[in-house]
Structure formats: C-alpha cells, structure tokens
Structure 1
Amino acid sequence: MARQQNESFDELFDVKNNFYIGNYQQCINEAQKVKLSSTEAEMNRDVFLYRAYIAQRKFRIVLDEIKDTSPSELLPLKLLAEYFAHPEHRDKILSAIDKATIEENCRSHNYMIVAATIYYHENNLESALRVLHKAENLECSALSVQIYLKMDRLDLAVKEVKTMQESDDDATLTQLALAWVNLAIGRDKYQEAYYIFQEMIDKYSSTTMLLNGKATSLILQQKYEDAEIVLQESLEKDSNNPDTLINMIVLSQHMGKPYEVANRYLTQLKDSHMEHPFVKDYLQKELEFQRLAAEYSALA
C-alpha cells in the first residue's frame, strides 16, 4: 500500500526509483521527459539527474552545468563530482566538508548524502555516521545501513532497517536495505535476499546492481552455476562494472576455473578502476607480499 501511495502522489517516483535500483540511464531519461507541477519538484528532479550522471562517471557534465551561482541544493553535487574527477582536490574538499559539519551547515539531506558518501570513500565511517545522525530520510537511513555493515555492526544495521520498515516497509530503499542485512545475517536469510532482488527485477528491470545482489545470494548458497548465468547477464549490460568483475573473480575461484580466468577479470578491474577499494586493498597486499618475499629471499 505504501508503494502504491508513493506512485500516486510522488511525481518523481520513476526518476528516484530508477536511481535507487541502479538504472541510471533510465533515471536520466525519465528526468528529462517528466512534467512537473512545482519548482520544488523540478529542483529534486535536477538533483537526481546530476546524481545519475555522477554514478555514470560523467563528471564533466555536472561540473560544466552546475555553477557557483546555481541553487544551493545543487552545489553539493558539484562538490561530489569534483571529488571523484579530481583526486588532487580531495584534501581541500574534505576540509570544506569538515568545516560545514562542525558548523552544522549541512542540514539538507542532499548535503548529508554527499558529505557521508565522501567520508565513506575516505573510509572515515565515524564521520559519515555523524553527518547522517538523526536524519529523517530513508536514503540517509539506507546509507547508514551500508556503513554499519562495513563496520561489522550487524546489530545496528538490523536496528536501522527496522526503523525504515516502520517508516515505509514497501519502499525500494527499505527492501534493498533488508536484502543487504539478510546477506550479512546468512543461512536461511540468503534465500530471502534472493527473493527481494528477484522481485525487484521482475517489477522494475534488471540492472547490474540488482543482478549482482542476486548473484551474491546465489554464491553464498553455493549455487555457482546459477550465479554464473546471472553474472554473465550483468556483464552483457556493462562489461566493465566493478562489482560484476569482483564477483566473477570470486566465482571463478569457487568453480575451480583456470588461474587465467580470474586473473583476466582482475587485470580488467585494475586497468579500469584503480580507485576502487577492492583494487587499492589488493595492490597494498600485493606490495606487502613482495616485500616479505624479498626479505625471506635475502635470508635464504
């Protein structure tokens, strides 16, 4: 019922929902054609439009179109695009966000999402949660769930999901957060997570985000052949998606495929996503292994 109400009264339901499930191009398409009844709705549309461009790594569009004189609600998105596009500016951007959060000048949930996202990518999870604290917004709650899971605080993630369910049990973000928590809980919850991802694919469309969630639940259930079919579909949609490549690396090892298969996906991942946390962590461990190997070789 809650979802039906959202669809009836939220002019931007399709725009937002496509963004939430990772269908970024459809989000952009919907944003460009939807007819809206207020300037507030138009502003919210532009927020999701530019966020979708950022998700597609089309940073130049955002940086060119959002000026310093643009509405204040859009300015955080320019900051986020600059963060990803120009790593050399990140210290300056972090200083600006630190100052804004200390002075509590980040009360709009859009700014909270941007600030928390940047802190998340900096692995400063405590600051990310501090920004999101007491935010009465489902998207802020969903991001908090992701952070709690990364911190291995499953108890807090479960608590946050329950709060989301009390607010809107049928909302896409609530269902996604529940699926993430189910994957973390394990055992019989893997199958429940699978059903959530499959239901969304059936109701809306298959995206790399939903397909990777579905594949992850299958891998955890050791249904490797089924997972491979799902990941192949994901590769057909986006052959360079980092989550799909990582899942293919894991799956190739579980299925006992030749070393070259997993290494091929790893090479592609390193070539295209050097800033991805998985790649950074892998390269760090690779350097550490080489250092230890050199030490033992010298002692031999």
Structure 2
Amino acid sequence: MSEPDELYTLRAQYWLGHYQLALDEAKSVMRRPMSPALKAEREEFSLRCQLALGQYDKVISASPDSPGIKALQLKAQYESAAAEAKPAIVQQMQTMLGDGVSPSVQLTAAHVFLMEGMKKEALQCVHQGALMEHVSVSIQIYLQLDRIDLAQQQLALLKRADEEAVLTQLAGVQIALATGSSMAKDAIHTLNQLSEQYGPSVFLLNLMACACLQAGNFSLAEERLMQARQEFAASDADTLANLIVAYQYQSKPTAPLVAELKSSYPGHFLASGLATVEGAFERESIKYKA
C-alpha cells in the first residue's frame, strides 16, 4: 500500500478537491522519468480530475490505452447519462470485474456502484484494501451502513500504512463527523491544518461546514459555505444542501436554496425527500378542503 513520491502532490491535490491544481501538477510531472505504472497512474488521475470538473467529453474521447482508462470512460458516461441509460452502463462496468482485474478498475467500479446505491457490490470491489484509496472507500461505505466500528478498523490500517497521509487524515475527519459533536473539534483542527497547508477548496469548506454544524456553530458553517460559493462559484449539490441545513438551524429562509437544489439536482436525496414529503402533505390536505 506504499505509494511512490513522484505523484505525492498530484494525489494530495486531487484528494483535497483541488482538481485544477492537480491537473496542472500532472502536466508539470509529465516529463519526469518514472515507471510505466506511475505514468499510467498519472494519466488516470488526470482523467479523474477532468471527471470531477465535469469535463466528460474529454474523458470519453481519451485513448482507451488501459482497463483503468476504459473504466473511467464508463464512469464519465454514467455521470453524463440520462437516468434510464445508467443501468446498462453499470452492467458494462460489472463485466470488467473478475479475476486479475486491476485495482484502479475496482476503485472506479466501487465509485459507480456507490452512485447507483449498490453498497454491497462497491464494498466487494475494495474490501481487500489493495490501495489506500480502497481502504478509504471502504470507510465511507461502512459509515453509510452505520458501522463506525468497522470504519475505525479500516482507519487503523491507513494509519499503519501512513499516518500522515492526506487520505488518512480525511478518513479520520469523516469518522469524527460520523461519531458526533464530541469529536467535532478534532475534525475542525485537522481540516484547519489541511487548509493552511494546501489552501481551501469546495470539498474542504464543505467538510469544515459539516464539522461546524456538528459543533453547533451554525453561523460559522454558513460562512464557510458562502466562502465556497463566493470564492469558487460553488453551486454543487453538497454546498446547497449543507447551506440549507445551516440556514434551517438559524431560522433563515431556505426557499430560494431549496428551489435551486430541486432545479439543478432533482435526484439529490434531500430534493427527492422533500418532494416525497410535499406530495404526501398535498394528498392529505385535499381531504380537508371544502
């Protein structure tokens, strides 16, 4: 699970949500002498950055030189496809799995399966922990399953591999947030250190906002989310959803944000949940209309 240093900055920038900086780093190390395996990893991280930036066409049109790239192209197709087309893409991803499949394909498949709500299948891809990222994803899955105990066991594996690694620190933050307000200060401390070292990103600001919400500091959570919107023009679903929560706790009007979330991300669990509740309320209210 040890990882060479040539791509250390590239990986760190990607994991922290600095996707454009990571792309720039990938270009800057392109001419450095490195093994074929590292060159392939650099190319895959470049495509992952483009995916995160929503540049699906660039990923899909890339030369499919390896199974890892082919898997990323399927992920790009999945993220850009209409809902009715997604199951077929998931099936294509499943056909790529089997004996001898590369760890990078397993990682991408796990990400796609999670987006499809297939937690069991995602965990099957990463449970052996061939990469530190596999362990990181398994932690996220265990937290979604409310198995903090198993997530903590996986965190111990990351710490044994590299206690100071960005992935290890982020995993610790995620477990702290899942644990509750008692560990919110620990999460805030770690996130402050990462932000000071690498600079803020939409991802880090959202994590910080979640930690502030856990700590009961709703106004500071709002500040961090507004920073994401103002400095990075963030309009992603996580920023909107977290800002709605921060506003709700402060009794501020949320209607414009809710409307934006529903319009831009109708499939988001908060938007769909609100639609379900509103529909049920409307059906019940009809019974009492004159």
Please report the TM-score for the alignment, with normalisation by the length of structure 1. Answer: 0.88
CA positional deviation for 1:76: 0.6
Match of 2:70 in 1: 75
Among 263, 269, 290, which residue is 2:261 paired with?
269
Q: Structure 2: where are the runs of 5+ without partners? A: none
| 1:178–1:193 CA contact under 8 A, matched in 2 | yes
1:22-101 alignment, distance < 5 Å: 22-34=17-29, 35-38=31-34, 39-67=36-64, 70-87=65-82, 88-101=84-97
CA distance in 1, matches of 2:273, 2:110: 21
Alignment-mate amino acid for residue 16 of structure 2: I
CA positional deviation for 1:64: 1.5
CA distance in 2, matches of 1:282, 1:119: 24
Give the superposed CA RMSD.
1.9
Spell out, residue by residue over 1:52-79, the C-alpha distance to the aligned partner (whole angstroms, 9 max, x if none): 1111111011112234xx2222111001
1:226-241 alignment, distance < 5 Å: 226-236=220-230, 237-241=232-236
Change (3 A) 1:266 1:30: same
Match of 1:280 in 2: 272
Change (3 A) 1:86 1:66: farther
Alignment-mate amino acid for residue 278 of structure 1: L
| 1:54–1:81 CA contact under 8 A, matched in 2 | yes
- 2:174 pairs with 1:180: yes
Match of 1:224 in 2: 218
Spell out, residue by residue over 1:144-166, the C-alpha distance to the aligned partner (whole angstroms, 9 max, x if none): 11111111111111111111111
| 2:202–2:234 CA contact under 8 A, matched in 1 | no
Aligned length: 285
1:94-173 alignment, distance < 5 Å: 94-101=90-97, 104-105=98-99, 107-173=101-167
Q: Structure 1: where are the runs of 5+ without partners? A: none
Alignment-mate amino acid for residue 173 of structure 2: A
CA positional deviation for 1:292: 3.7
CA positional deviation for 1:276: 2.9
Spell out, residue by residue over 1:108-141, the C-alpha distance to the aligned partner (whole angstroms, 9 max, x if none): 1211111111111111111111111213211111
CA distance in 1, matches of 2:177, 2:159: 17
- 2:273 pairs with 1:289: no
CA distance in 2, matches of 1:156, 1:190: 20
CA positional deviation for 1:209: 0.8
| 1:106–1:112 CA contact under 8 A, matched in 2 | no
Match of 1:243 in 2: 238
Among 199, 215, 235, which residue is 1:205 paired with?
199
CA distance in 2, matches of 1:148, 1:18: 25
| 1:215–1:228 CA contact under 8 A, matched in 2 | yes
CA distance in 2, matches of 1:239, 1:132: 30
Alignment-mate amino acid for residue 58 of structure 2: I
Spell out, residue by residue over 1:77-116, the C-alpha distance to the aligned partner (whole angstroms, 9 max, x if none): 0010011111343222222233444xx2463121111111
| 2:59–2:72 CA contact under 8 A, matched in 1 | yes
CA distance in 1, matches of 2:149, 2:280: 33
SS across alignment from 1:74: helix
SS across alignment from 2:245: helix
Change (3 A) 1:277 1:112: farther
| 2:74–2:93 CA contact under 8 A, matched in 1 | no
Alignment-mate amino acid for residue 177 of structure 1: A
- 2:6 pairs with 1:14: no
| 1:66–1:78 CA contact under 8 A, matched in 2 | no
